[in-house]
Amino acid sequence: MKRKGSVSEDVEFTFTPLVILELAKDTPEKTTEWLIQKIKDGKHLSGAHLSIRPLEENSKVYVIGASWRRLLLGAESLGFVKEFQDGSMRVFTYNNREDYKHFTNDDSDFLTMAEKQYIIKRELENLRAVNETMVPGHPQAKLYPGKSIFRRLQTSGILIQLYPLHEPAELKKLSFIWYRQVKFSFQPLDEIQKYFGQSISLYFAFLEYFTFALFPMAVIGVPYYVFAWEDYDKYIVFATFNLVWSTIVLEVWKRWCSRLSYKWGTLTMKREFEEPRPGFHGTLGVNPATGRKEPVYPSYRRQLRIYLVSVPFVCFSLYICIVVMMIYFGMEDLVLAYNEEAQSMFSSSLLYLPSVVYALVIEIMNRIYRYAATFLTSWENHRLESSYQNHLVLKVLVFNFVNCFASLFYIAFILQDMKLLRQNLAALLITSQIINQFVESLFPYCLQKRRKKIIKQKLSTSTEEKELPLTDQVKLEGKMDTFLGTFDDYLELFQQFGYVSLFSCVYPLAAILAVLNNITEVFSDALKMCRVFKRPFSQPGSDIGVWLLAFETMGVISVMTNCALIGMSPQVKSFFQGKSIELVLLIVGVEHILLGLKFILAFAISDIPRDIRNKVARLEFESMEALKQKQMKEADEFLKKEQQKDEMRKENQVKKI
């Protein structure tokens, strides 16, 4: 299928351009020819059986695509789940392709462009060396049977970048309904999923859900803040509501997430066998599970690196957080003393300065630590990407929790100064939101302006409405930044969830500020995805992964925190005058009961709605029945062959007699 619109005059493409491959400019011709042949070769020759053409003559940039049949076979091997004629979601099989809804024999929308590009990526990643001992033309790039060729090309610096192409027409439609119209409406999650894949669409679904979940807190918080402005101690009602809200909100999300995942075909999608990370290194050995040769790194050496280097570094970083926090409290004391002496408007305005400066320092420390944590986690040399991500998330979450919330806990439970707690919480929340909006809104806007300037300087087409020639489009997208994932976006929501669920009872405006921030976040993140970054490869996913556990942990901490705040309220203390031990025992007992109810509620409320469970169970039953029938058919065929053999033996015996 030819690409619609203008195409480079040097090369005529007979397939839909899906993925761009760029090699280093000094890559020898021997290496290039070998790689192109590996990509073109059929599966029986250990190739990828894909189509590839140079973007221009004598160019090291290549365009990759595939035939419709090849893409369908790739969808089957990856276990894609598609809607069947009866409305159920079933694993796609090539032989039964006519039984699926919206299927046509031409290159149709049965597979989205994101799915096609993901198939190409997986096929390229699965290209493995057979008898090669090195990359031709690069003796230093060693290979061995079973080694992923593209991973070796990445680590050797031969492969510069591999990215999927944007679809200008579809991107324009998505942009218009997503962020170009300023209106109060739901996001086009299905369209986002079709264009960017499940993992990114699940992030935007969670952002939208969390924003709507904050509305009850915001509605209660505004009048509570207005009518009890100076009464910092009457927070027992709001703290009680916090307890209920933080427990229910995540349970409801799990059910909605299951519905989305089922509709998008990832809830029942089979889990892939994880290959070693590109950065994983070690001595050559054999994987006992696959029998393939791959790097082997002793587990004890990784554990030594973790416990002798990473853990001490994290502990030292936490110590620095505490030191900075104590410096902040020292600044607070100095400013308070100065204000008591001066009693001027200037001295009164200085009261907020330590909190603002401390909030800025926290954000700077968070970003510096993130780079250090990424370096350390890479140095630990984890074999699997999932293990790498889990260790990185754990490091970052522990530091961010202490860095962002330690001062709030100290003020609330050591100093017991609710006025200072409100001031500190407001400064942390507002400052972090301003910084994040600058980084995620203003900075992307500047990048977009720069991109427009490049278009006007280098291209003859001066308007955005016209589709660029493929060559110009590839050159333009090649210079765009690479999207690094949703890690920082989830981290921002995690911090926001902590501010709201832990201490918003003393600063009820926290929820409404979070809602306003998230509304602008939707537009800024949409702008980034559509106009600032290269299009990321689709990544199948059925939930938000390890982040759900992080949010649930914060929910447990919020129960304990709000119970303690309720116990510290004057209303409760008035009932236990002179009986502090009884009060502590009561609060601890109530907290344990509420935690028990929280876990019972989490167990009682199914993560998957009943109708979805029934559909999944029906599919499993039908799959088992089909497997039984297949086994029975094979057994019948085997018996028939054995009977035929017996009859032939008898006939031969009769003939001999």
The mean predicted confidence, pLDDT, of the chain is 83
Question: Of 451, 432, 550, 559, whose CA–CA distance to 502 is shortest?
Answer: 559
Return the pLDDT at 10: 38
- Residue 346 is predicted with a pLDDT of 81
| Long-range CB contact pairs, 271-276, < 8 A, 24+ | 272/78, 272/79, 274/384, 274/385, 274/386, 275/125, 275/148, 276/151, 276/383, 276/384
Position 11 confidence tier, pLDDT thresholds 50, 70, 90: very low
Reported as a single tens digit per residue, the pLDDT across 82-108 is: 888 887 888 888 888 888 888 887 767
- Whether the pLDDT of residue 409 is over 70: the answer is yes
More confidently predicted of 233 and 19: 19
In the Cβ-directed half-sphere of 491, how many Cα atoms lie within 13 Å? 21
More confident residue, 91 or 369: 369
Angle of the 546-568 helix axis to the 236-264 helix axis, nearest 10: 170
Whether 319 shows a pLDDT value over 90: the answer reads yes
Question: How confident is the model at residue 582, as a pLDDT?
Answer: 83
Does the pLDDT at position 462 exceed 60?
Answer: no
Closest CA to 437 of 526, 520, 532, 527: 520
pLDDT (tens digit per residue) in 500-530: 888 887 888 888 999 999 998 888 889 888 8
Q: What is the DSSP letter of 276?
A: P
Position 456 scores a pLDDT of 57
Does residue 581 register a pLDDT over 50? yes
- Residue spans of alpha helices (H) in 411-469: 418-437, 443-458
Most confident listed range (278-282, 556-560, 646-650): 556-560
DSSP state of 506: T
**Which of 115-119, 360-364, 598-602 has the lowest average pLDDT?**
598-602
Determine how β-strand 293-296 pairs with β-strand 61-65: unpaired
Helix (H, G, I), strand (E, B) or coil at 157: coil
- Asked if the model's pLDDT at residue 587 lies above 80, the reply is yes
- pLDDT above 90: percentage of residues in the chain: 25
Q: Give me the percent of the chain exceeding a pLDDT of 70.
A: 89
Contact (Cβ atoms closer than 8 angstroms) between residue 119 and residue 75 = yes
Q: What is the pLDDT of residue 118?
A: 92
Range with lowest mean pLDDT among 400-409, 453-462, 587-596? 453-462
Using CA atoms, how far apart are residues 5 and 13, in angstroms rounded to an integer?
Answer: 12
The pLDDT of residue 344: 81
Give yes or no for residue 6 having a pLDDT over 50: no
**Predicted pLDDT at 12:** 47
Asked if residue 279 has pLDDT above 50, the reply is yes
In whole angstroms, give the CA distance from residue 413 to residue 627: 61
Q: What is the reported pLDDT for 596?
A: 86
What's the rounded Cα separation, in Å, for the pair 526 and 540?
A: 20
Q: What is the mean pLDDT of residues 128-137?
A: 85
Which of these ranges, 62-66, 409-413, 488-492, 626-630, has the smallest mean pLDDT? 626-630
pLDDT confidence band for 309 (50 / 70 / 90): very high
Tell me what pLDDT residue 189 has: 92
Instruction: Count the Cβ atoms, other than its own, within 10 Å of residue 398.
Output: 15
Tokens representing 180 are: 């170009």
Q: Are the CB atoms for 172 and 530 separated by under 8 Å?
A: no
158-162, 185-189, 530-534, 633-637, range with the lowest pLDDT: 633-637
Nearest CA-CA partner of 211 in 496, 556, 506: 496
Residue 5, pLDDT above cutoff 80: no
Instruction: Assign 490 a pLDDT band (cuts: 50, 70, 90).
Output: very high
Q: Is the pLDDT of residue 248 over 70?
A: yes
Whether the pLDDT of residue 232 is over 90: the answer is no
d(CA 402, CA 395): 11
Residue with the larger pLDDT of the pair 571 and 477: 477
160 SS3 class? strand
Answer whether 250's CB lies under 8 Å from 552's CB: yes
Pick from 365, 386, 389: which is nearest to 377 by CA?
389
What single string gives the DSSP state of each residue in 51-103? EEEESSTT-SEEEEE--HHHHHHHHHHTT-EEEBTTS-EEE--GGGGGGBTT-
Higher-scoring residue by pLDDT: 172, 630? 172
Long-range pairs, 91-100, Cβ under 8 A, ≥24: 91/268, 91/269, 91/270, 97/72
Higher pLDDT, 5 or 382: 382
Q: What is residue 4's predicted lDDT score, i.e. its pLDDT?
A: 43
Interacting residues of 600 by C-beta distance below 8 A, sequence separation 6+: none
Any bridge partners for residue 488, and if so which?
A: none
- Cβ within 8 Å of residue 329, ≥6 positions away: 407, 410
pLDDT beyond 60 at 465: no
For residue 435, pLDDT over 90 is answered with no
551 token code pair: 């949010």
Q: How confident is the model over 591-614, as a mean pLDDT?
A: 83
Percentages of the chain per state (helix, strand, coil), in multiples of 5: 65, 5, 25
Q: What's residue 193's pLDDT?
A: 92
Global confidence as pTM: 0.86
Give the model's pLDDT for residue 626: 65
Pairwise pLDDT comparison (45 vs 190), residue with the higher score: 190
- Residue labelled with tokens 């973007």: 55
Mapping DSSP to helix (H, G, I), strand (E, B) and coil, where does residue 533 land?
strand
